[in-house]
Amino acid sequence: MNIKIASFRSVTLVFILSCLTTLGFEKKGNVGKTVLWEQGSGKYNNYRIPSVVVTPKGTILAFCEAREAGDTGDIDILLKRSSDNGKTWSDEIVVWSDSTNTCGNPCPVVDKETGRIWLFTSRNDGEDDETEIIHKTGKSARLPYSCYSDDDGLTWSVHVDMSETCRDTSWGWYATGPGIGIQVQNGPYEGRLIIPANHSYDDPNGNIRKGPFGYGAHVLFSDDHGKTWQMSEPIKPGCNESQVVELADGSLLMNMRSYNGQHARAISFSIDGGETWSEIEHDYQLVESKCQASILNFGQNNGKTIHLFSNPAVSVGRTAMTVKTSFDDCESWSNSKMIYAGPSAYSCLVKLPNEKVGLFFEAGEKRPYEKLVFVAFNPKELFNEGTLLENNSLKK
């Protein structure tokens, strides 16, 4: 082996182990697993679209869509709370139910300065499906809405239509997240609240749902703790279901589902707090098969920012829920840890109050939408051999 390469690998390994130790990463320990919602169990037929945040008081808030059928129709937003790092959970809270209409795509963000928890969602008439909304032949447009909680997620304000400042009137489909928003921690835009979102737009060269349309992404942002919100320029072509993360210097990275035939995540960068974005690139280290994903700034160590990324890491189908780690601002991903090898789809990462990794994701034994599973584990597990959850573990 080349001596220089061997030396570089040794230094890299020492640095990674140093990061793990300094952050309190422990040796292999117990993995906490809870099925928060299960298909065919409870008041609704189906549960999808996981989202999870931690409040300033250390409470975990796990959101989902409660569905009677598919992506449209009668959909409500539900919430469960945990005050003990995910060991036990409250009964479900109905955050929004609007008759038989669609209230979907929960995307919360926590204002760490005020303690207020903002929740952005998307609403449309329950009789319209996505194709009709994209083609603008349905009863109504799909619009962004917001609400907030000042009591740690127990109760929520009235839902407010945000389309005047947060939506281009020429768009058809609209979706917040799905996943979470962020609050910028560094640089000239410190304190800014950011909600990632996406939309369909008219495109004579596009071909979405058998029509001349394309998919794009954008963000909503607020510099006054949510009193007013503005909309960024769009990112296109061929991307949606976006998640945004802050890099070490305060710049932003948008990570998006791609329709550009690359079997990899689309990415874009912003140096002005999300107002404008660079041209789309693809990160071929992050393999995907047109599915949502999650990306999280897990914290800093020795001047280095650690990021985590989760998705079904396959180019075809929806299986193999995997978490990858970056120690260099998302330029490279140092390892790939299988969380669950079976059917799996959407996911959301969170850093727990006890410094553990939380992952809330869709999984099942035969189909990826059977259960919404929350797992909590020591970050050290990301560097241990083997799969975190065995295929038969979801039966328990």
- Over range 139-151, report the average pLDDT: 96
End-to-end, the C-alpha distance of the chain in Å comes to: 47
Higher-pLDDT residue of 335, 246: 246
Full-model pTM: 0.92
Is the confidence at residue 15, as pLDDT, over 50? Answer: no
Q: Per the structure block, which two tokens stand in for 16?
A: 């990674």
Which tens digit of pLDDT belongs to each residue from 329-370? Answer: 999 998 899 999 999 999 999 999 999 999 999 999 999 999
Is the confidence at residue 21, as pLDDT, over 90? Answer: no
Question: What confidence tier does 25 reach under pLDDT thresholds 50, 70, 90?
Answer: very low
Is the confidence at residue 236, as pLDDT, over 80? Answer: yes
Is the confidence at residue 28, as pLDDT, over 80? Answer: no
Please provide the DSSP assignment of 216-237 as one string. Answer: EEEEEEESSTTSS-EE---B-S
pLDDT at 303: 74
Question: What confidence tier does 29 reach under pLDDT thresholds 50, 70, 90?
Answer: low
pLDDT at 396: 55
- Distance between CA atoms of residues 20 and 63, nearest Å: 30
- Distance between CA atoms of residues 238 and 257, nearest Å: 8
Higher-pLDDT residue of 244, 11: 244
Average pLDDT, the chain: 92
Question: What confidence tier does 171 reach under pLDDT thresholds 50, 70, 90?
Answer: very high
Is the confidence at residue 22, as pLDDT, over 60? Answer: no
Task: Give me the CATH code for the 32-383 domain, please.
Answer: 2.120.10.10
pLDDT at 2: 43
Is the confidence at residue 308, as pLDDT, over 50? Answer: yes
Range name among 25-29, 156-160, 208-212 with the lowest pLDDT average: 25-29
- Distance between CA atoms of residues 35 and 122, nearest Å: 25
Q: Are 52 and 63 in contact (CB under 8 A)?
A: yes
Is the confidence at residue 219, as pLDDT, over 60? Answer: yes
- Over range 76-87, report the average pLDDT: 98
Question: What confidence tier does 242 reach under pLDDT thresholds 50, 70, 90?
Answer: very high
- Distance between CA atoms of residues 214 and 210, nearest Å: 11
- Over range 205-227, report the average pLDDT: 96
Q: Per the structure block, which two tokens stand in for 52?
A: 């999870």
Chain centroid offset of residue 216 CA: 17
Question: What confidence tier does 6 reach under pLDDT thresholds 50, 70, 90?
Answer: very low
Q: Which residue has the tokens 């954008």?
A: 218
Dihedral angle computed from the Cα positions of residues 390, 297, 84 and 361, in that order, rounded to the nearest 10 degrees: -40
pLDDT at 69: 81
Higher-pLDDT residue of 154, 140: 154
Which tens digit of pLDDT belongs to each residue from 320-330? Answer: 999 999 999 99
pLDDT at 170: 96
Is the confidence at residue 202, as pLDDT, over 80? Answer: yes
Helix (H, G, I), strand (E, B) or coil at 13: helix
Is the confidence at residue 313, as pLDDT, over 90? Answer: yes
Higher-pLDDT residue of 30, 382: 382
Q: Which residue has the tokens 């929350």?
A: 374
Is the confidence at residue 17, as pLDDT, over 60? Answer: no
